[in-house]
């Protein structure tokens, strides 16, 4: 199968006539016609074998995740997904792999009305680069720079399960099979919080998605906003779903592993965001409207830096380093 | 140096206040505000070490080329460049390499007023994925599907020098040093024909950029337009610049090598386009306005297929295969 047959078979579908895509796959460029007056939100993520995923990962899950991590960036800005491009470097043409990968990708794309409009395929070490486009009314994008002292700090959904699965898959931590299976779903099939991001427009003062670990990502908000924060670790520690499974009860996890996974785990693809206390009802309404649980985990402070406190309000001294590709 | 320092040092500059970029590098998404009513043209290309470039290529040239091949796609659509994202997988942080790569990239970006708005960096085998954004008035994009029987076929600039350089660098063909040096410039620093593409709006009936080889790329126009073509190989053979250098005179190149390089060389990044004979003056004016030479090389036919003819109008029987990553 040649390059163009491959694109035609796995990565080409007719554009929907009512969408923002004026011209899809097959010419030198795709043509997008955003709603007049809207801004275009753009994000790009590159996934590398051995770095972001295991060589033997289910290709369906990989197709899902490659798009999910990009949609998560749109969610963090409160942008509505429109379209994406896919650039793919493949060691060889493996039809079973392409079939699975494209299936996982299309399923998530369809769920969000996000159309594949173009891209590139080449031979080389497995590498997936997706660039995603969404739209947002001018001035309404959720940015990292809007957090103000006194704001509440929230996170959506669960934290730490993806990292827990990774630790188990790497052989660092034993896990019961059912716990691993569920945690692995979180690692391999993250849920981009697109509906929550849209519902938080005009409500949240700042937002970003948690991809490298809660504290590291939160520190980007704090730096961009020129503020500090206090985080209640007894609350964040409860956000790891696995600890609630009956088979995980008791000694399975120590408190330190849970803190590591929830505070600096990475691969969560939840939204961390801030909002003034006057918006608590609006945050609850956004959570309900988007069917996405959110938890208040701390407060924005005037003093720069991140303070971690335990259930008694006492400082937690340990530092939790976030993921960095070159450290 | 960590991931975020690397991005800050080499890949972040303030967005120009008068441009289409509402928010550049540093948040979850970039925000683009295209001119109201314009369509957004999008293209993405991935370059892999050992496949698209040699491991020891000058990083400045590579930074240029990685963006140039994307701008060439915008040129082929007649779109004005606005912005691009860069996703980069690097084996390690090599500051000299990053310094050179970013210098070459910025120089070309500045020449076209095209801003870097975001992207991704990760560790892995060297891989460069750029996605570029331009704008074009609705209905004015140059497409592959507009060629009509009787149209003239044109190509810009020169053909075949990039392939000739590649053959020499691979040790397949000996070349005098000065000829190689100039041909190598064409391989490593292609010139995206952006100004010509803009000038051809409303003039050309179809267009695309020549990246995989003239005949293969032209066949995409023919297929999309449902037509055939006759190409004058005695004209295309003269488009290789190297054959005109004094030191290349005589026996340096055989006619067959020249045909191979000009018809199926690849990496030319010229524009191939069609226009009705009534537009010959307009094509000449577009050429002049953009300071880009163009040459009429053939005619669009009703009968599908590509006919190659020599100076006597006799058929050239040999087939020239274009580049395909998976064949």
Secondary structure in 3-state letters for chain B: CCHHHHHHHHCCCCCCCCCCEEECCCCCCEEECCCCCCEEEEEEEEEEECCCECCCCCHHHHHHHHHHHHHHHHHHHCCEEEEEEEEEEECCCCHHHHHHHHHHHHHHHHHCCCEEEEEEEEECCCEEEEEEEEEECCCCCCCHHHCCCCCEEEEECCCCHHHHHHHHHCCCCCCCHHHHHHHHHHHHCCCCCHHHHHHCCCCCCEEEEECCCHHHHHHHHHHHHCCEEEEEHHHHHHHCHHHHCHHHCHHHCCHHHHHHHHHHCCCCCEEEEEECHHHHHHHHHHHHHCCCCEEEEEEEECCCEEEEECCCCCECCCCCCCCCCCC
Confidence of residue B246 (pLDDT cuts 50, 70, 90): low
The tokens 């037509």 sit on which residue? B227
pLDDT greater than 90 at residue B89: yes
Contact residues, chain A, for B145 at CB < 8 Å: 27
Q: Are strands A30-32 and B294-301 parallel, antiparallel or unpaired?
A: unpaired
Interface test with A, best of B29, B138, B196, B216 (most A CBs within 10 A): B29
pLDDT greater than 60 at residue B327: no
Flag whether A315 is in a domain. no
pLDDT of residue B155: 97
Flag whether B118 is in a domain. yes
Q: Please tell me if residue A71 touches chain B, with a CB cutoff of 8 Å.
A: no
The nearest CA of chain B is from the CA of A116 a distance in Å of 11
Average per-residue pLDDT for chain A: 89
- Rounded average pLDDT over A269-296: 97
Domain encompassing residue B53: 3-136
Asked if residue A185 and residue A55 are part of one domain, the reply reads no
Whether the CB-CB separation of A327 and A245 falls below 8 Å is answered with no
The tokens 């007056």 sit on which residue? A37
Interface test with B, best of A21, A37, A42 (most B CBs within 10 A): A42
Whether the CB-CB separation of A126 and A90 falls below 8 Å is answered with yes
pLDDT greater than 90 at residue B25: no
Whether the CB-CB separation of B242 and B253 falls below 8 Å is answered with yes
Asked if residue A229 and residue A191 are part of one domain, the reply reads yes
Q: Do B224 and A30 touch (CB under 8 A)?
A: no
The nearest CA of chain A is from the CA of B124 a distance in Å of 6
User: How many domains are contained in chain B?
Assistant: 2
Q: Please tell me if residue A301 touches chain B, with a CB cutoff of 8 Å.
A: no
pLDDT greater than 50 at residue B225: yes
Contact residues, chain A, for B143 at CB < 8 Å: 23, 27
pLDDT greater than 70 at residue B253: no
Asked if residue B185 and residue B83 are part of one domain, the reply reads no
Rounded to an integer, what distance in angstroms lies between the CA atom of residue A264 and that of residue A284? Answer: 26
pLDDT of residue B36: 86
Condensed to tens digits (0 to 9), the pLDDT of residues A202-224 reads 999 999 999 989 999 999 999 99
Highest mean pLDDT among A50-64, A207-221, B276-290: B276-290
Could you tell me which residue, A253 or B46, shows the higher pLDDT? Answer: B46
Among A residues 267-296, those touching chain B with beta carbons less than 8 Å apart: none
| Alpha helix positions (H), chain A | 3-10, 59-77, 95-111, 161-169, 177-188, 194-199, 214-225, 233-236, 255-264, 280-289
- Rounded average pLDDT over B217-228: 93
Confidence of residue B243 (pLDDT cuts 50, 70, 90): confident
Q: What is the CATH number of the domain that holds B43?
A: 3.30.1330.10
Is A189 annotated for ligand binding?
A: no
Rounded to an integer, what distance in angstroms lies between the CA atom of residue B135 and that of residue B35? Answer: 8
Average per-residue pLDDT for chain B: 89
Asked if residue B166 and residue B280 are part of one domain, the reply reads yes
Interface test with A, best of B117, B129, B132, B206 (most A CBs within 10 A): B129
Q: How many CB pairs under 8 A join A and B?
A: 237
pLDDT greater than 80 at residue B254: no
Flag whether B179 is in a domain. yes
Contact residues, chain A, for B118 at CB < 8 Å: 42-44
Percent residues over pLDDT 70 in chain A: 94
Which residue, A115, A136, A157, sits at the end of a domain? Answer: A136
Asked if residue A159 and residue A85 are part of one domain, the reply reads no
Rounded to an integer, what distance in angstroms lies between the CA atom of residue A57 and that of residue A63? Answer: 10
pLDDT greater than 60 at residue A248: no
Asked if residue B177 and residue B119 are part of one domain, the reply reads no
Q: Do B125 and A121 touch (CB under 8 A)?
A: no
Contact residues, chain B, for A73 at CB < 8 Å: 28-29
Asked if residue A223 and residue A122 are part of one domain, the reply reads no
pLDDT of residue A324: 57
Taking alpha carbons only, the member of A308, A307, A292, A293 closest to residue A234 is A308
pLDDT greater than 70 at residue A320: yes
Flag whether B296 is in a domain. yes
The nearest CA of chain B is from the CA of A25 a distance in Å of 10
Q: How many residues are there in chain B?
A: 327
Flag whether A314 is in a domain. no
- Rounded average pLDDT over A166-184: 88
Which residue, B72, B102, B136, sits at the end of a domain? Answer: B136
pLDDT greater than 60 at residue A247: no
So what's the ipTM on this one? 0.88
Q: Please tell me if residue A32 touches chain B, with a CB cutoff of 8 Å.
A: yes
Asked if residue B77 and residue B45 are part of one domain, the reply reads yes
Does an H or E element contain A118, and which? strand A115-123
**Which range (B25-39, B110-124, B260-274, B313-327) has the least confidence?**
B313-327
Which residue, A100, A119, A136, sits at the end of a domain? Answer: A136
- Rounded average pLDDT over B242-256: 66
pLDDT greater than 80 at residue A315: yes
Asked if residue A160 and residue A293 are part of one domain, the reply reads yes
**Which range (B28-32, B106-110, B123-127) has the least confidence?**
B28-32
When CB atoms are compared, the residue of B49, B79, B145 closest to A29 is B79
Among A residues 143-172, those touching chain B with beta carbons less than 8 Å apart: 143-145
Flag whether B30 is in a domain. yes
Asked if residue B169 and residue B111 are part of one domain, the reply reads no
Confidence of residue A251 (pLDDT cuts 50, 70, 90): very low
Does an H or E element contain A155, and which? strand A152-156
Confidence of residue B251 (pLDDT cuts 50, 70, 90): very low
Asked if residue A124 and residue A231 are part of one domain, the reply reads no
The nearest CA of chain A is from the CA of B62 a distance in Å of 17
When CB atoms are compared, the residue of A42, A122, A207 closest to B118 is A42
Q: What is the CATH number of the domain that holds A297?
A: 3.90.650.10
Q: Which two tokens stand for residue A266?
A: 């990475």
Could you tell me which residue, B133 or A50, shows the higher pLDDT? Answer: B133
Q: Do B121 and A88 touch (CB under 8 A)?
A: no
The tokens 């441009």 sit on which residue? B19
Flag whether B325 is in a domain. no
Could you tell me which residue, B259 or A107, shows the higher pLDDT? Answer: A107
Could you tell me which residue, A21 or A239, shows the higher pLDDT? Answer: A239
Rounded to an integer, what distance in angstroms lies between the CA atom of residue B111 and that of residue B5? Answer: 26
Rounded to an integer, what distance in angstroms lies between the CA atom of residue B61 and that of residue B82? Answer: 22
Condensed to tens digits (0 to 9), the pLDDT of residues B143-164 reads 999 999 999 999 999 999 999 9
Asked if residue A227 and residue A179 are part of one domain, the reply reads yes
Flag whether B323 is in a domain. no
Taking alpha carbons only, the member of A138, A137, A140, A116 closest to residue A128 is A116
Q: Do B43 and A30 touch (CB under 8 A)?
A: yes
Q: Do A51 and B123 touch (CB under 8 A)?
A: yes
Confidence of residue A179 (pLDDT cuts 50, 70, 90): confident
Rounded to an integer, what distance in angstroms lies between the CA atom of residue B60 and that of residue B9? Answer: 16
pLDDT greater than 60 at residue B250: no
Taking alpha carbons only, the member of B133, B4, B10 closest to residue A43 is B133
Q: State whether residue A92 is helix, strand or coil.
A: coil
The nearest CA of chain A is from the CA of B278 a distance in Å of 25
- Rounded average pLDDT over A45-63: 89
- Rounded average pLDDT over B118-145: 93
Percent residues over pLDDT 70 in chain B: 94
Is B73 annotated for ligand binding?
A: yes
């Amino acid at each position: 199968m040649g390059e163009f047959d491959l694109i035609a078979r796995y990565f080409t579908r007719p554009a929907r006539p009512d969408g923002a895509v004026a011209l899809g796959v097959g010419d030198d460029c795709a043509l997008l016609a955003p709603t007049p007056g809207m801004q275009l939100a753009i994000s790009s993520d590159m996934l590398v074998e051995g770095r972001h995923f295991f060589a033997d990962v289910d290709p369906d899950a990989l197709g899902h995740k490659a798009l999910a991590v990009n949609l998560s960036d749109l969610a963090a800005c409160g942008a509505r997904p429109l379209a994406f491009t896919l650039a793919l470097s493949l060691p060889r043409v493996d039809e079973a792999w392409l079939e699975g990968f494209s299936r996982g990708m299309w399923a998530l794309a369809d769920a969000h009305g996000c159309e594949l409009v173009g891209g590139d395929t080449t031979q080389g070490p497995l590498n997936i680069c997706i660039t995603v486009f969404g739209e947002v009314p001018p001035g309404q994008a959720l940015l990292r720079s809007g957090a103000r002292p006194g704001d509440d700090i929230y996170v959506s959904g669960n934290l730490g399960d993806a990292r827990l699965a990774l630790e188990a898959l790497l052989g660092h931590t034993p896990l019961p099979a059912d716990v691993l299976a569920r945690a692995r779903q979180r690692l391999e099939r993250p849920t981009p919080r697109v509906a929550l991001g849209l519902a938080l427009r005009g409500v949240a003062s700042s937002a970003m998605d948690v991809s490298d670990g809660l504290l590291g990502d939160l520190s980007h908000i704090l730096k961009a906003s020129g503020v500090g924060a206090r985080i209640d670790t007894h609350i964040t520690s409860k956000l790891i779903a696995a600890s609630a499974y009956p088979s995980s009860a008791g000694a399975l996890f120590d408190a330190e592993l849970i803190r590591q996974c929830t505070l600096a785990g990475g691969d969560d693809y939840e939204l961390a965001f801030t909002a003034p206390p006057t918006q608590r009802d609006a945050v609850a309404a956004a959570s309900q409207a988007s069917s996405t649980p959110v938890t208040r985990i701390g407060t924005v402070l005037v003093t720069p830096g991140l303070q971690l406190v335990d259930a008694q309000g006492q400082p937690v001294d340990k530092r939790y380093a976030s993921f960095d590709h070159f450290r």
